[in-house]
Amino acid sequence: MKKASLIVLICVFAVTAALAGALITLNVLNEWRIDFEPVPEPMIVIEAGDEFSPPEISAFLRGRFFAKEGIPAEVTSEGEADSSRPGEYVLSWSAELSGRTNKTSSHVIVRDTTPPEIVLIPEEREYILPGTAYDDPGFSATDSIDGDITGRVKIEREDDGKFLTLYYSVTDLSGNEAHAERTVKYDDPFPPTLTLSGEVEIKFYAGRQTYEEPGYAADDNVSGDITDRVKVEGSVDSETPGVYTLTYSVEDDWGNRAEASRTVTVVEPPKPRKVTVQKDYPQGGPLPDKVIYLTFDDGPGPYTAELLDILAKHNVKATFFVCGTGYTDLIAREEAEGHSVGVHCYSHVYGPLYASEEAYFADLWAMNEIVKEKTGSYTSLLRFPGGSSNTVSRFNPGIMTRLAAAVTEAGFTYFDWNVSSLDAGGTTDTGEVFLNVTNGIAGKNVSIVLQHDTKGFSVAAVDDIIEWGLENGYVFLPLTPTSPTVHHNIAN
């Protein structure tokens, strides 16, 4: 080899080597890398339920000096985010070209910040009654992610007696809360009831009794027994005649009121006096041979009208010894239909009645006032409760002896009886009443028969008794002040 050729060869080699070295150096200095475009956000936050598409990421191989525009590289992505479910997801991308690789990733946070919703069914009532359990018209709770969460609703109550407030709350699985509340008013439109015991109209003689409140009761639909809230206004002076009004009122917690009143009439006590009005039945002539005086005590009562019909059917007159019953209007009819009306008593309670002469006369006159009111005149006919021979008055020794004289002195004629139907305890049988009466009459010229027109079974015997009497030649007459009296032996 020539020396020149060798030099050339060495030079070429040197140049080539230098070039190669430069190229290698350049390649190193070029700093090849893979870029992602766009660079994904390290963290992506989205609301659950929103639409989400993963970012489209491209990759390029680039250097400082060469391939500045970049050579597209294939990208592989991994992971996915479910935007309908709250959670944290990782999306990652990797690219590789010419031995260069790169990786990147994004954290996708799907969060739920949307609160659920509580819907209340409206309360249509304007108010609810106090003390009643509240009947919730209903509610529902829904959440965009959890769906129907009605079952998780918690209710707290606040009740101050005037308003009831319900606080509804619910929390979804992500901790978002919803609240709702409703307030309903309590109201009570119903007044309490106020009931008076005893009579609403009370009458008694001044000085003979002391007024005692018979009592009352108040009941409320909400508060129950509110008797202790009843206010009583007015008072009674039992010594001074007059008309006294007692007013009772009560108010419930809701301002509903109830009222009642009672009238107490304190009557001037009757003064001893004589009866002057008399009626003489029938014609004043001599008595027939066989006379029956039918007499009925203790009425008028529920069977008196029927009895009057029976008597009218036979045109038979009888005698009624009347009491202060609830049927005293019938006294007018008894009188109008030609029967005799006598006083039996106002109140058939032996204890007070025979407590004193004063008490007896107060009662007698109380009844005689009613007789006058119904018939237009006082009666002078009388029958003692229990008869003049009664022994029920023995707690007051001698009272019957004194009364028998006193009533006669006062102008009354009192009658006992000589035929008893035994309808006051001996029997309750209509057939036996008939037999007791007809057996009692048989053999007597004058019979004063005792029956009670307050007893239906006894009244039912009257039709047969009259027919029997008429068939057997008896005359039925009403008692008059000059009739045979038939007096028992006084036993007290």
Q: Confirm if 295 and 318 have CB atoms less than 8 A apart.
A: yes
The three-state secondary structure class of 383 is coil
Closer residue to Zn ion, CB minimum distance, 248 or 384: 384
Phi first, then psi: give them for residue 224, nearest 5 degrees.
Answer: 75, -135
298 counts as binding Zn ion under rule CB under 5 A: yes
The CA–CA distances, whole Å, from 73 to 34, 91, 102, 174 equal 8, 18, 10, 41
Rounded Cα distance between 300 and 454, Å, is 7
Strands (E), 1-84: 33-37, 43-47, 58-62, 71-78
Closer residue to Zn ion, CB minimum distance, 110 or 462: 462
Please give the residue whose beta carbon sits closest to Zn ion in the complex: 297
Q: Confirm if 121 and 138 have CB atoms less than 8 A apart.
A: yes
DSSP letter for 120, please: E
Closer residue to Zn ion, CB minimum distance, 130 or 299: 299
Closer residue to Zn ion, CB minimum distance, 297 or 463: 297
Rounded Cα distance between 476 and 310, Å, is 13
CA triple 187-189-191, angle to 5 deg: 125
136 in active site:
no
CB of 362 to Zn ion, least distance (A): 18
Given 220, 297, 298, 416, the catalytic residue: 297
H helix intervals, 272-422: 304-314, 330-336, 350-353, 357-375, 399-409
CB of 298 to Zn ion, least distance (A): 5
CB of 367 to Zn ion, least distance (A): 12
344 in active site:
no
Question: Considering only residues 385-414, where is the footprint of Zn ion by CB under 5 A?
Answer: 385
CB of 161 to Zn ion, least distance (A): 58
Closer residue to Zn ion, CB minimum distance, 86 or 385: 385
CB of 303 to Zn ion, least distance (A): 15
CB of 450 to Zn ion, least distance (A): 9
CB of 348 to Zn ion, least distance (A): 6
Rounded Cα distance between 306 and 310, Å, is 6
Question: Considering only residues 367-386, where is the footprint of Zn ion by CB under 5 A?
Answer: 385
Question: Considering only residues 411-470, where is the footprint of Zn ion by CB under 5 A?
Answer: none
CB of 420 to Zn ion, least distance (A): 12
Closer residue to Zn ion, CB minimum distance, 112 or 298: 298
Rounded Cα distance between 202 and 217, Å, is 18
User: How many CB atoms lie under 10 A from the CB of residue 27?
Assistant: 13
Given 339, 363, 452, 463, the catalytic residue: 452
How many chain residues bind Zn ion (CB under 5 A)? 3
Closer residue to Zn ion, CB minimum distance, 182 or 348: 348
With residues binned 3-state (H G I as helix, E B as strand, rest as coil), the percentages for the chain, rounded to 5, are 25, 30, 45
Residue 467 amino acid letter = E
- Do the strands 71-78 and 58-62 form a parallel or antiparallel pair, or are they unpaired? antiparallel
Q: Which two tokens stand for residue 342?
A: 């006598």
363 counts as binding Zn ion under rule CB under 5 A: no
Closer residue to Zn ion, CB minimum distance, 83 or 388: 388
CB of 195 to Zn ion, least distance (A): 32
Q: Confirm if 349 and 451 have CB atoms less than 8 A apart.
A: no
What burial class does residue 253 get, using C-beta atoms within 10 Å of its C-beta: 0-12 exposed, 13-18 middle, 19+ buried? Answer: middle
Closer residue to Zn ion, CB minimum distance, 300 or 385: 385
297 counts as binding Zn ion under rule CB under 5 A: yes
In the sheet that holds 224-225, the strands lie side by side as 193-196, 216-220, 224-225
Rounded Cα distance between 209 and 224, Å, is 34
Catalytic residues: 297, 452
List interacting residues with Zn ion (CB under 5 A): 297-298, 385
